[in-house]
Amino acid sequence: MHEDQRRFLDDLLATASPSGFETPAQRVWVEYVEPFADEVHTDEYGNAVAVYDGGDGPEFAFTGHADEIGYMVAAISSEGYLHLTPVGGSDKSVSKARHVHVHTDGGPVNGVVGQAAIHVRGKEDTEYDDIETMTVDIGAEDEADARDLVTVGDPVTIAQTPHPLQGSLLSARGLDNRVGVWVAAEALRRAAERGAESTVYAVSTVQEEVGLSGAKMVGYDLDPDAAVAVDVTHASDHPEFPSDKHNEVGLGDGPVIARGAGNHGALVDAVRDAASTDGIDVQYQATGIRTGTDADAFYTTRSGIPSLNLGLPNRYMHTPAEVVDLDDLDRAADLLAALAAREAGRESFAVEF
Which residue ranges are tagged as binding site for Zn(2+)? 65, 176, 209, 231, 318
Q: Specify the DSSP element, H or E, that contains 23.
A: helix 23-33
- Strand ranges, E, within 88-215: 99-104, 107-113, 135-137, 155-158, 163-164, 169-172, 199-205
Tell me how far the alpha carbon of residue 239 is from its chain's centroid: 24
Give the CA angle between residues 168, 315, 261 to the nearest 5°: 115
Let me know if 143 is a catalytic residue.
no
Decide: helix, strand or coil at residue 312.
strand
**Catalytic: which of 22, 68, 186, 208?**
208
Which residue ranges are tagged as binding site? 65, 176, 209, 231, 318
- Per 3-state DSSP, the chain is made up of helix, strand and coil in percentages (nearest 5) of 30, 25, 45
Evaluate whether 69 touches 89 at the Cβ level (below 8 Å).
yes
- What letters, b where the CB count within 10 A reaches 16 and e where it falls short, cover 50-62? bbbebeebbbbbb
Evaluate whether 60 touches 230 at the Cβ level (below 8 Å).
no
Q: Specify the DSSP element, H or E, that contains 12.
A: helix 3-13
**Cβ-based burial of 129 (10 A; exposed 0-12, middle 13-18, buried ≥19):** middle
Residues involved in catalysis: 208
